[in-house]
A and B are shown apart, each in its own frame.
Chain A
Amino acid sequence: DSGVTQTPKHLITATGQRVTLRCSPRSGDLSVYWYQQSLDQGLQFLIQYYNGEERAKGNILERFSAQQFPDLHSELNLSSLELGDSALYFCASSYGTGGGNTEAFFGQGTRLTVV
């Protein structure tokens, strides 16, 4: 158990809908990262938050957004869903900003299926 909690574990929804994925980081970790794992693109970094502020952005679609709340949990919002958004979404957390010799701890992921 990495200490990173993601909910829900599975999500099935229709095209055009909006969903919210939730992540609770390890105790003491201030940074949260979101990754997408799909058959087409592999594992890709989406976005990082540190202590409530966006820190880095990767290949995140405009239809996707994220935020980190004062209690440090994070939510990834996916809207106007398309079939191609079906993927496993991972959250990871790390101590501090993630710079220097820090490592990321990954949650179990949320499997999103868009039908």
Chain B
Amino acid sequence: AQSVTQPDIHITVSEGASLELRCNYSYGATPYLFWYVQSPGQGLQLLLKYFSGDTLVQGIKGFEAEFKRSQSSFNLRKPSVHWSDAAEYFCAVGEISAASKLTFGTGTRLQVTL
């Protein structure tokens, strides 16, 4: 069965600093990978997704992620964080047969200091 590990429960960065959120997955084949963001009291918004092709994917709000098969990782990055990026971030893996049947990581809560 697939699994997702987000090793950082909580990260604090200063506004304007760069950000990298880690995600490692376990899956028997090439996975479908996603990053979602959840603001307080809100639903889940898709930031970006990887299905195939270019391993560096661009998403909304200036986020990008890189798929590294050799490391089973799909880390999320942003060059300059804004205070409005404070939220919880979830990495997820979808099955080949059902990309939308997702297994989520435990999430990383991002705090941004001014």
Contacts and interface: CB of A to CB of B under 8 A. Distances in A.
Q: Do A and B bind each other?
A: yes
Interface of A: 2, 4, 31, 33, 35, 42-45, 48, 55-56, 58, 90, 92, 94, 97-109
A105 B46 contact: yes
Q: Which 3 A-B pairs have the closest CB atoms?
A: A98-B100, A104-B100, A43-B104
B84 to A, nearest CB: 18
Interface string B32-70: 101010000011111001011000000000000000000
B101 interface: yes
Contacts of A109: 43
Contacts, number: 68
B101 A98 contact: yes
Contacts of B51: 101
Contacts of A101: 32, 51-52, 99
Given A42-B106, A108-B43, A33 B100 contact: yes
21 contacts: A4-B43, A33-B100, A42-B107, A43-B102, A44-B104, A45-B101, A45-B102, A45-B103, A55-B98, A56-B98, A56-B101, A92-B44, A97-B98, A98-B98, A98-B101, A99-B96, A99-B98, A103-B100, A104-B46, A104-B99, A104-B100
A103 B98 contact: no
Interface residues of B, number: 25
Contacts of A94: 99-100
B97 interface: yes
Contacts of B44: 90, 92, 106
B90 interface: yes
Contact of B43 (A2, A31, A97): A2
